[in-house]
Amino acid sequence: MKFALRSTPGITASAVLFFSGLLLVFLSFVSGDGVSAAGSNSGSINQNDTLQTASTVSVMRIEGTIGPTSLNYLERSLNIARDRDDEILIIEIDTPGGLLDSTQDMVKLLLGSDRPTAVYVSPDGATAGSAGAFITLAGHVAAMSPASSIGAASPVTMGGGEIDTVSQKKIFSFAESFIESIAEKRGRNIEWAISAVRDGAAATSTEALELGVIDFISQNLDELLEQLDGMEIEGRVLNTTNAEVNRIEPNLAEIFFSFILRPEVLLILTLVAVYGILGEVSAPGSIIPGVAGAIALILLLFGVAAMPINTAGFLLIGLAIILFIAEAFTPTYGLLIAGGGVSFFLGALMLFQDLPEDMQVSLLWLIPATILTILFFVWVSYYGIKAQFTGHRTGTESMVGKEVEVSDEITTESGRVFFSGEYWNARSTGPVPIPEGSTVRIVKFEGLKVHVEPADSDSKNN
């Protein structure tokens, strides 16, 4: 059985997806710098005032879903604030929620910090939902901008389904006790904190201040610094009114890995790994698909280790690949391709179902990815099947049926023809003699002798 592909769509597909991903990472980094430059003006103090004080304040900003890179960003910012001997680290936050494991680790950092911290839900319209509520309550100081909200901290698992398993009940029980311990540690409203988990309670900034959930409502960073001035935290009296504000921006690694850990990017990496590795196996020496596939596979393994990926989803995607490849070797007229397409779609759908809803793969990504994968393997299968039923393309067998020129008169016993830059002893299977300069057709090879017939013979042998 032969399966030879001289050209494979894996080269094009893997390279395009891989370099497109790199371009998106670069654009994300450039966009982050733009935000950084604009944000660095927030909370700035008149230059004459900064010359009158040696106090400094660090500000970091967490936006979007809470994940492993958010944890790394917070830990790095705390270390920088400690090294600078800042008055306080202010954490601006606007998040719908995130991973419970990462949230738990971030809360541990905040509760164990000997450097004063303030969590500020901003700007207007921002929210500290789910994981954000835990983090806000864990700061030494909690503040919110007007028209912002906090709460709805119920853990969501298994795609947002109802709690119908023991493990899910355990998760809720843990979340309730966890947020209760945070509120107790920081002297905040324990009953509201528990209801935010148990009942999904939420509150506006005004309600949160009245309930004792937060300490301040601040119009902007300047006002928050004035409100913090003179407070005693961790044995330190804060001097923040005229403090120099230093913004700590995400570094390149945090931006890159935050991008990599997006579910849709992990899905693209899965496709690149499959296309690239299969492309290299199909056409050894292509290099580009193999390199792209290997890099994508390593990044994918990193993402799988950092994110709670559903194992059943991965197994279904693996089954889909097996079915796709099997179609090329045991043609079933599209049956295995169809089965593989269904398996791939369900696997990709299940792959991130344990993540919060905003981190799950959208159908706008999933459907095109499934169609692209099916088309890719249909193409591969087409060339594989075609290769199985195509005659020899190399060696002397590939010359059978070709027309060549007689160099020496051919009889039943002797004669020569010239082709492929070589002279071959020839013997006629038809009328003889065949004069020099005539055109004959190759019938077969026998050792070092070629059997030919006149090119105009009716007994054409293909």
| Segment 390-422, tens digit of pLDDT | 555 555 666 777 888 888 888 777 788 888 777
For 1, residues 6+ apart whose C-beta sits below 8 A from its C-beta are 329, 388
pLDDT tens, residue by residue, 237-282: 999 988 999 999 999 988 888 888 777 788 888 888 877 877 776 6
Cβ(377)–Cβ(343) under 8 Å? no
- Answer whether residue 306 is part of any domain: yes
Measured CA to CA, the distance from residue 380 to residue 378 in angstroms comes to 5
pLDDT tens, residue by residue, 319-354: 888 887 777 667 677 788 888 889 888 888 887 766
Total number of domains in the chain: 3
* Tokens linked to 263: 């579910």
CA-closest candidate to residue 101, choices 354, 299, 362, 358? 354
For 368, residues 6+ apart whose C-beta sits below 8 A from its C-beta are none
Of residues 164 and 38, more confidence is placed in 164
What's the pLDDT at 127? 94
In terms of domains, do 368 and 424 share one?
A: no
- Answer whether residue 2 is part of any domain: no
pLDDT tens, residue by residue, 354-376: 666 666 677 787 888 888 888 87
Measured CA to CA, the distance from residue 221 to residue 165 in angstroms comes to 44
Of residues 431 and 206, more confidence is placed in 206
In terms of domains, do 383 and 401 share one?
A: no
User: Quick one: angle between helices 9-39 and 263-282, nearest 10?
Assistant: 150
Q: Which of 355, 370, 388 is the last residue of a domain?
A: 388
What CATH number is attached to the domain comprising 139? 3.90.226.10
In terms of domains, do 96 and 234 share one?
A: yes
Measured CA to CA, the distance from residue 144 to residue 220 in angstroms comes to 9
Domain range for 286: 9-18+256-388
In terms of domains, do 196 and 140 share one?
A: yes
Measured CA to CA, the distance from residue 364 to residue 402 in angstroms comes to 52
* 356 CB-contact burial (10 Å; exposed 0-12 / middle 13-18 / buried 19+): buried
pLDDT at 171 > cutoff 90: no
Residue 182's pLDDT band (cuts 50, 70, 90) = very high
Q: Which of 212, 241, 270 is the last residue of a domain?
A: 241
In terms of domains, do 176 and 291 share one?
A: no
Q: Does an H or E element contain 117, and which?
A: strand 117-121
DSSP string, 339-378: HHHHHHHHHHHHHTTTS-GGGSPPHHHHHHHHHHHHHHHH
pLDDT at 9 > cutoff 50: no
pLDDT at 88 > cutoff 90: yes
pLDDT tens, residue by residue, 202-247: 999 999 999 999 999 999 999 999 999 999 998 889 999 889 999 9
Q: What single DSSP character describes residue 241?
A: T
* Tokens linked to 114: 């000997």
* Tokens linked to 195: 């209801």
Half-sphere exposure of 357 (CA within 13 A, CB side): 8
pLDDT tens, residue by residue, 117-161: 999 999 999 999 989 999 999 999 999 999 999 998 877 643 333
CA-closest candidate to residue 236, choices 228, 227, 225, 245? 228
